[in-house]
Amino acid sequence: MWDLGGQDSLRAAWNTYYSNTEFLIVVVDSTDRERLSITKEELYRMLAHEDLTKSAVLIYANKQDIKGCMSPAEISEQLNLTSLKKHRWHIQACCALSGEG
């Protein structure tokens, strides 16, 4: 398992870790509506890579304890997860502080 940061400077190196990957875990900040479009762009870029064509996807919708956060359903809609026909996927509400989810 690799824990890869999402900063711009690190994204170019992500594909060096794709070989033999069976699933992706993407942690989404449920309070950050502005960056969700970047998350979507990067998710679909990753899934288009030849080494990830059969990878399953787990989205953790983190910070569900914060008032005004996006629900998992809203995040799923914004990321257009239902369009992922070739990938099994699941979105899970969670709160890293409490361990819920």
Question: Which residues are part of the catalytic machinery?
Answer: 7
Q: How far apart are CA 51 and CA 24, in angstroms?
A: 12
Annotated binding-site residues for GTP read: 6, 62-65
β-bridge pairing 89-93 and 56-62:
parallel
Q: How far apart are CA 52 and CA 25, in angstroms?
A: 12
Q: How far apart are CA 90 and CA 41, in angstroms?
A: 18
Hey, is 61 helix, strand or coil? strand
